């Protein structure tokens, strides 16, 4: 038994083993590692239960019906000519200034932001409130009414930011200019019923129990000591916060800094009529706003209210319903003089700021490495750059939890309503400074496991009886230590070799798997990649086919490899298709590639075995010849119809015949309407939005794709789908196979080479080079008391415990929810072990193990103090996005709001110090929950604007399903960076500002990104010198709106901005196409959609309004 070794990080293992090199975005192809691990395998007595798939070996049917290619393969004139048919020059791709204008007659002049007519908002970052010493944030409620007063000024709901119909010209100009794919909705599609749908479960979260046990502070009084001090130092949420003196399991509280009183001034506040309150000023004591007056503001609803969980609609008159018995009725808003109306608002600077929280965490936790030796530590935020030292628990890059302290009982968990979930990214890529997991080889005996629960050896196993046996930390079973694994214990009961063995000292490591872990008890062959290219009319005309073939010629040299291999072990194959499929024989011995056509798409088979999947370097000449010929062969095609399911079927059959796992790369353009299995019809119907039938838009149209996906998973056939639609293609149905096989979907609406090639090629390169684990099974084991009950992500499950992944790459996460099935023990905590069995790119069968220990608590305050809101939002978004398959979106939104209110009400009731009901009190770790939740609620999936297509929504829905925490964080709350505020020389990224129009200064330039979209917003009064430096034009008016590439200019500002754009792109898993937006230009509506703290045109509430609404909900729960 031998731990492969090379340069150690922490414990002295000898040498580290970079067997699994990370992806290097800049380099074309990863750096080869140094050593190839040895592969001595042998028999093992404990085969993995639950992994006994025995698909029949592939059988090829019927002799190939080969024909000559349709067009002469020799005629190909060299490349350029064909571009002429789609290249329309820049005319089509520019700002399209003539097209979209009329769509927005009422575009709002900058500065007339409805919500902020009076308060001037400096664009520089303002710390909200007192430094984060106070964990209880309190807010006056008056803003509810006030903010409502301005709502009628909003443009009518439903006015899209995108120009839906007016852009139906084929130019495909601005709407697709980089968003996840809006395209002209030319035709009103026929309505059709979905037949069959994904067998998704009904929402499992029943309406949470109403908090009947809640008592108001006045009557019942708080049972918990108030939280008045700074948070425990060890917990480190960006600075001092609350301490809870009565907690045993926590580190000692820090000294209480003076002046950290949280609540508002004592004594009854002076009665104050709402119309007399002078706006809400920040208070030193941690309250939001001034002393609470009588709750006159609760007396009525506000116009924003209908949008919470309800259908967007035009602003409604205020029902003067009184909710608060203490409230003094206030005059109707429209009776107030206009000036007074405008003064009633919550100061946005006085409510919790995501920017501030992010900055504080960066400042407090960015400098020290995060050492994983301590159980239940909350890691730094995903927005903080930090290094990780593995000392026994998995890095937060692999696993993040909603809480690192789990309630001991299910009753407590139900009371708090905080979901207990882990977002797991088993193959996460690591920064170069951190070592890849060591690979442990236990020889022919295979990895050591518990006999009963099959958990793998890990640092939490207890060795007893002098080291001859070990007690399983998951199920308590006592197991014998095999003689070859025996080692003596030291005086503390620890094995003396603990630090020489990754599996005894690290949170994450790998085992070489024995043949028992392999399908059919046979070691796997290296995987294969099959490129399947739509060559119908649209694909040819847009230039896609030519671009793709050209790119593949070089890209094939950069297939993933590992362990220092000189070339990739992955074999490749090629198929083109429209209504029929064309297979290519690219055997190295051929002078020219041969094409074989299969037109019987109803009964797909692979017409050739030998010569279909080949080694790139051996067959290079033939492959290059093929890629040269494909665009020419189909250059004159008139075929517009395509098939889809048979293409996947063919690829899967080819892998089956070759007895290997692999990945299909499908490049597809249109709704597959040709007569074939999986044929689809256009069933898009926007009239279903906000009806009970809206869910059908998200459900697949036919069950055929799910059946197909199941076959693919059994074969280890992962499908990546690149879509290039000009109209509705039914993403909800087409993405079923990629989704269930662990694949990815990319969408380029109205693809035009000259507009979109950079984005497409960048995504393609990254996707092809990704390190992938194939034919994988993941199992999450837990210690007694909790168990995994629900899973979210791109995978397939045929039973309740095993997550099956035909492929899994380093970007994909699997989210696991846990429930109690017994009482947990504070002393022993709770353990998770995620085991991923997979085939590496080189064909090696391995197990990757991640272990994580969590604390358990008997005090609710400990739960609230150790939560991670970013992870919570990730989970809640996935939960909601799955919910829309089965429930009306309104129900889904209401469920989220209710749950959030219950979480916060439980805190208020059990953990917060007594204070007046008029104060909103949020746990320090969750103070961003309302703002982030609001972003989820008003996202395109849950509350679409008029311009968001059905395909967009389905696309985003499946993207979010496997996003990690960092991705959902920036996706729901975009990053807005001022570019000219900080000195040009400053090397660091400028600090972000809050995503609100109020934060924009018209003399500045901003970048906004959310992981998918990237905007450069230019203020109308920006200095001429800046305009010249960036755009090489002399004035603002000359800047081309919608520009997607900045000119390369030799000056510091231009270099800095372009460098920043590059750096943002490098941080994201998909290429973000730039869109330049000028202030007050029509495109600005598109941009404003991402200013998520503002009220949205689709009816989404502003942050301030939503916070008030949450407060109302909480108060209702508490009363
Ligand atoms: Zn066990």
Ligand 1 mean position, distance from CA 784 (Å)? 10
Ligand 1 mean position, distance from CA 747 (Å)? 45
Ligand 1 mean position, distance from CA 778 (Å)? 17
Ligand 1 mean position, distance from CA 472 (Å)? 4
DSSP structural state of residue 2: E
Instruction: State the alpha helices, DSSP H only, in 366-514.
Output: 410-416, 502-505
- Looking at residue 59, its pLDDT comes to 35
Q: What mean pLDDT comes out for the span 564-570?
A: 88
Condensed to tens digits (0 to 9), the pLDDT of residues 751-776 reads 999 999 999 999 999 999 999 999 99
Ligand 1 mean position, distance from CA 470 (Å)? 10
User: d(Cα 312, Cα 811) in Å, to the nearest integer?
Assistant: 34
Q: What mean pLDDT comes out for the span 624-653?
A: 97
Ligand 1 mean position, distance from CA 399 (Å)? 21
Condensed to tens digits (0 to 9), the pLDDT of residues 284-332 reads 333 333 333 333 333 333 333 334 444 444 334 333 333 332 322 333 3
Ligand 1 mean position, distance from CA 709 (Å)? 33
Ligand 1 mean position, distance from CA 106 (Å)? 66
Ligand 1 mean position, distance from CA 248 (Å)? 29
Condensed to tens digits (0 to 9), the pLDDT of residues 516-561 reads 999 999 999 999 999 999 999 999 999 999 999 999 999 999 999 8
Ligand 1 mean position, distance from CA 451 (Å)? 6
- Looking at residue 186, its pLDDT comes to 39
User: d(Cα 338, Cα 249) in Å, to the nearest integer?
Assistant: 55
Query: Model-level pTM?
Result: 0.75
Q: How many percent of the chain have pLDDT more than 90? A: 64
User: d(Cα 980, Cα 1026) in Å, to the nearest integer?
Assistant: 8
User: d(Cα 692, Cα 634) in Å, to the nearest integer?
Assistant: 45
1105: left (phi over 0), alpha (psi -120 to 50) or beta: alpha
Ligand 1 mean position, distance from CA 404 (Å)? 22
Condensed to tens digits (0 to 9), the pLDDT of residues 422-431 reads 999 999 999 9
Ligand 1 mean position, distance from CA 785 (Å)? 13
User: d(Cα 961, Cα 931) in Å, to the nearest integer?
Assistant: 21
Residues near ion ligand 1 (CB < 5 Å) are: 450, 452-453, 455, 472, 474-475, 477
**Which of 846, 789, 336 lies closest to 563, judged by CA?**
846
User: d(Cα 838, Cα 517) in Å, to the nearest integer?
Assistant: 9
Ligand 1 mean position, distance from CA 467 (Å)? 17
Ligand 1 mean position, distance from CA 482 (Å)? 16
Ligand 1 mean position, distance from CA 418 (Å)? 28
User: d(Cα 421, Cα 402) in Å, to the nearest integer?
Assistant: 6
Ligand 1 mean position, distance from CA 439 (Å)? 22
Condensed to tens digits (0 to 9), the pLDDT of residues 980-1007 reads 877 777 777 888 999 999 999 999 999 9
Ligand 1 mean position, distance from CA 835 (Å)? 14
Are the C-beta atoms of residues 857 and 244 closer than 8 Å to each other?
Answer: no
- Looking at residue 345, its pLDDT comes to 63
Ligand 1 mean position, distance from CA 849 (Å)? 15
DSSP string for residues in 865-905? HTB-HHHHHHHHHHHHHHHTTTS-HHHHHHHHHHHHHHHHH
Ligand 1 mean position, distance from CA 1102 (Å)? 50
Ligand 1 mean position, distance from CA 397 (Å)? 26
């Amino acid at each position: 038994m031998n731990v492969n070794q090379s340069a150690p990080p922490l414990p002295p293992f000898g040498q580290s083993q970079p067997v699994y090199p990370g992806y290097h975005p800049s380099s074309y192809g990863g750096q080869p590692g140094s050593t190839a691990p040895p592969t001595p395998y042998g028999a093992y007595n404990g085969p993995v239960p639950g992994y006994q798939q025995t698909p029949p070996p592939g059988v090829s049917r019927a002799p190939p019906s080969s024909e000559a290619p349709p067009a002469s393969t020799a005629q190909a004139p060299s490349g350029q000519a064909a571009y002429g048919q789609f290249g329309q020059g820049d005319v089509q791709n520019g700002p399209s200034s003539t097209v979209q204008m009329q769509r927005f007659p009422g575009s709002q002049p900058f500065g007339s932001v409805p919500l902020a007519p009076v308060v001037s908002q400096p664009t520089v970052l303002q710390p909200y409130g007192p430094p984060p010493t106070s964990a209880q944030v309190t807010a006056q409620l008056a803003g509810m009414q006030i903010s409502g007063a301005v709502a009628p000024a909003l443009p009518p709901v439903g006015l899209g930011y995108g120009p839906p119909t007016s852009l139906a010209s084929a130019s495909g100009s601005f709407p697709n200019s980089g968003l996840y794919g809006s395209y002209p909705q030319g035709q009103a599609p026929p309505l059709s019923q979905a037949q069959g749908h994904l067998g998704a479960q009904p929402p499992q979260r029943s309406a949470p129990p109403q908090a009947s046990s809640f008592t108001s502070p006045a009557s019942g009084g708080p049972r918990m000591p108030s939280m008045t001090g700074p948070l425990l130092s060890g917990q480190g949420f960006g600075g001092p916060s609350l301490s809870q003196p009565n907690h045993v399991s926590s580190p000692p509280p820090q000294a209480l800094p003076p002046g950290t009183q949280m609540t508002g001034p004592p004594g009854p506040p002076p009665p104050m009529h709402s119309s007399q309150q002078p706006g809400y000023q920040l208070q030193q004591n941690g309250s939001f706003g001034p002393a609470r007056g009588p709750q006159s503001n609760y007396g009525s609803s506000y116009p924003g209210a209908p949008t919470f969980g309800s259908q967007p609609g035009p602003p409604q008159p205020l029902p003067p319903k009184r909710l608060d018995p203490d409230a003094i009725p206030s005059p109707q808003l429209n009776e107030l003089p206009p000036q007074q109306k405008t003064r009633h608002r919550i100061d946005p600077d006085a409510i919790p700021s995501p920017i501030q929280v992010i900055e504080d965490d960066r400042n407090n936790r960015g400098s020290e490495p995060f050492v994983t030796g301590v159980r239940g530590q909350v890691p730094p935020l995903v927005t903080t750059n930090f290094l990780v030292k593995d000392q026994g628990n998995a890095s937060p890059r692999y696993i993040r939890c909603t809480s690192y302290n789990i309630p001991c009982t299910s009753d407590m968990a139900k009371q708090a309503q905080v979901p207990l979930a882990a977002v797991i990214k088993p193959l996460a890529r690591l920064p170069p400074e951190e070592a890849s997991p060591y690979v442990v080889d236990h020889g022919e005996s295979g990895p050591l496991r518990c006999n009963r629960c099959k958990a793998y050896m890990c640092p939490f196993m207890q060795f007893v009886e002098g080291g001859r046996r070990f007690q399983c930390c998951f199920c308590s079973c006592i197991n014998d230590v095999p003689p070859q694994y025996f080692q003596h214990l030291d005086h503390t009961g620890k094995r003396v070799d603990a630090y020489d063995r990754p599996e005894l000292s690290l949170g994450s490591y790998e085992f070489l798997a024995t043949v028992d872990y392999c399908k059919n008890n046979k070691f796997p062959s290296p995987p294969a990649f099959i490129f399947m290219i739509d060559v119908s009319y649209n694909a040819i005309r847009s230039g896609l086919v030519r671009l793709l073939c050209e790119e593949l010629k070089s890209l094939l040299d950069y297939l993933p490899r590992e362990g220092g291999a000189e070339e990739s072990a992955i074999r490749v194959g090629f198929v083109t298709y429209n209504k029929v499929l064309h297979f290519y024989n690219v055997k190295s011995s051929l002078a020219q590639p041969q094409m074989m056509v299969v037109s019987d798409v109803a009964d797909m088979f692979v017409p050739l075995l030998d010569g279909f999947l080949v080694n790139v370097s051996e067959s290079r000449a033939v492959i290059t010849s093929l890629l040269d010929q494909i665009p020419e062969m189909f250059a004159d095609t008139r075929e517009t119809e395509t098939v889809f399911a048979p293409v996947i079927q063919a690829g899967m059959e080819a892998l089956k015949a070759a007895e290997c796992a692999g990945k299909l790369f499908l490049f597809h353009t249109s709704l597959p309407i040709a007569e074939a299995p999986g044929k689809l019809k256009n069933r898009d119907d926007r009239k279903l939005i906000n009806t009970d039938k809206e869910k059908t838009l998200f459900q697949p149209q036919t069950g055929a794709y799910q059946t197909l996906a199941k076959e693919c998973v059994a074969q280890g056939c992962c499908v990546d789908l690149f879509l290039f639609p000009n109209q509705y293609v039914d993403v909800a149905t087409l993405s079923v196979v990629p989704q269930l096989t662990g694949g990815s979907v990319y969408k380029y609406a109205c693809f035009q080479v000259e507009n979109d090639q950079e984005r497409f090629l960048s995504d393609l390169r990254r996707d092809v080079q990704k390190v992938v684990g194939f034919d994988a099974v993941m199992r999450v084991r837990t210690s007694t008391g909790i168990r995994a009950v629900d899973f979210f992500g791109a995978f397939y499950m045929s039973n309740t415990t095993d997550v099956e992944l035909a492929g899994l790459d380093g970007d994909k996460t699997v989210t696991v929810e846990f429930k109690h099935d017994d009482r947990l023990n504070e002393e022993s905590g709770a353990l998770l072990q995620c085991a991923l069995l997979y085939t590496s790119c080189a064909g090696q069968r391995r197990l990757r193990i991640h272990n994580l220990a969590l604390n358990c608590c008997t005090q609710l305050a400990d739960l609230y103090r150790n939560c991670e809101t970013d992870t919570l939002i990730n989970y809640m978004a996935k939960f909601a996005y799955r919910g829309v398959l089965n429930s009306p979106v309104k129900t889904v939104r209401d469920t989220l709001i209710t749950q959030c209110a219950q979480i916060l009400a439980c805190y208020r009731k059990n953990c917060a110090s007594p204070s007046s009901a008029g104060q909103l009190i949020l746990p320090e770790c969750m103070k961003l929950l309302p703002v982030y939740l609001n972003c989820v609620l008003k996202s395109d999936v849950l509350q679409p604007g008029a311009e968001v297509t059905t395909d967009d929504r389905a696309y985003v829905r499946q993207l979010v399903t496997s996003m990690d925490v960092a991705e959902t964080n920036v996706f729901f709350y975009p990053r807005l960076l001022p570019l000219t505020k900080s000195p040009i020389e400053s090397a660091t990224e400028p600090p972000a500002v809050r995503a609100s129009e109020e934060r924009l200064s018209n003399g500045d330039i901003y970048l906004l990104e959310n992981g998918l979209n990237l905007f450069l917003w230019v203020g109308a009064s920006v200095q001429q010198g800046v305009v010249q430096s960036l755009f090489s034009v002399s004035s603002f008016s000359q800047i081309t709106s919608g520009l997607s590439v900045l000119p390369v200019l030799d000056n510091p500002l231009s270099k800095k901005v372009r460098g920043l754009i590059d750096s943002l792109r490098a941080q994201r898993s998909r290429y973000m196409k730039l869109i330049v937006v000028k202030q007050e230009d029509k495109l600005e509506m598109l941009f404003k959609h991402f200013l998520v703290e503002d009220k949205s045109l689709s009816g989404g509430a502003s942050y301030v309004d939503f916070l008030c609404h949450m407060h109302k909900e909480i108060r209702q729960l508490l009363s």
